[in-house]
Amino acid sequence: MAKTKADAPLYHKLKDRILELIESGRYRPGDRLPTEYELCEQFEVSRTTVRQALHHLKLEGHIEQTQGKGTFVASSKIQQPLSSYISFDDYMKRLGLSGETKVLEFAVVPATAQLAKMLHVAETDPLYKLIRMRYVDRTPLKYSITYIPWKVAPGLAFEEIQGSLYDVFRGKYGHQLSKCVDWIEPILTDDQYSEYLEVAVGAPALMVRSVTYDTAGMPLEHSQEIFRGDRSKFVLERDLQSPSAKYTGLLPDPWQHEPDGAE
């Protein structure tokens, strides 16, 4: 028999109740929550139950705890559209936020076997490798690595990668963008990602890997982006009236190894 909400552990019910207070606006971002003792008194539960509830709220990015200061409601997660053709900085402006991009690396590298297959180039063909950090109100939001075939954007200059790559593809190189395919999976940050995103090792994050195509079906770029789990959420709007919404079968996963003997 399936469990009902009434069967949920007591700490889970408390977590949901505190989350309701946050989402209703009773507690706003930056507000200090009652102490553990006060929550015990308010909800008539044990300290163990309170600590478990707060632990899960912290894991989900709803609260932040500072030793010696208390527990505070975290900043609201930033809603981001998938496969958007608007630049990161412009989108943040629409949200009334201050977006900033920092280029960590811009170089030309030879294509590995996997990247060559993904980007429809020959192995060792030149690719631009672009590593960027994205910040919102000076807080790290995502770390991204992008690969662009040289033939897609010959002579791409450092000054041109400061803004929207899609604008450069269209404006300077005349590519007509067609679609972007995204693969999304939850991960836990390792030492490298934790350092860049300024979170603890093992913090929840989202990995979004994507390939953008032009109208001729040529891959223009491949990106791998690591989003802070405590600051990010995604929205995907589907047009169910469009013929393209029809199920056409599972998309192949470029990162999935084929079984032995497969061609």
Handedness of CA 93, 95, 96, 100 (dihedral sign): negative
Average pLDDT of the residues of the chain: 82
The C-alpha atoms of residue 211 and residue 118 are separated, in whole angstroms, by 8
Residue from 79, 22, 99 nearest 54 by CA: 22
Phi, psi of 72 (to 5 degrees): -125, 150
Dihedral angle of Cα 46, 50, 53, 54, to the nearest 10 degrees:
-170
pTM of the model: 0.70
Instruction: Name the band, by pLDDT with cuts 50, 70 and 90, for residue 75.
Output: confident
The C-alpha atoms of residue 129 and residue 117 are separated, in whole angstroms, by 16
DSSP H helices, the chain, are: 10-23, 36-43, 47-59, 88-94, 113-119, 165-171, 191-197
Provide the residue count of the chain: 263
Which residues in 22-41 are b (16+ Cβ under 10 Å) and which e? beeeebeeeeebbebeebbe
Helices and strands per DSSP (H, E), number in the chain? 7, 10
Instruction: Name the band, by pLDDT with cuts 50, 70 and 90, for residue 63.
Output: confident
Region 15-34: mean pLDDT is 88
pLDDT of 187 above 60: yes
> Would you say 174 and 214 are in contact if contact means Cβ atoms under 8 Å apart?
no
% of the chain beyond a pLDDT of 70: 78
pLDDT of 247 above 50: no
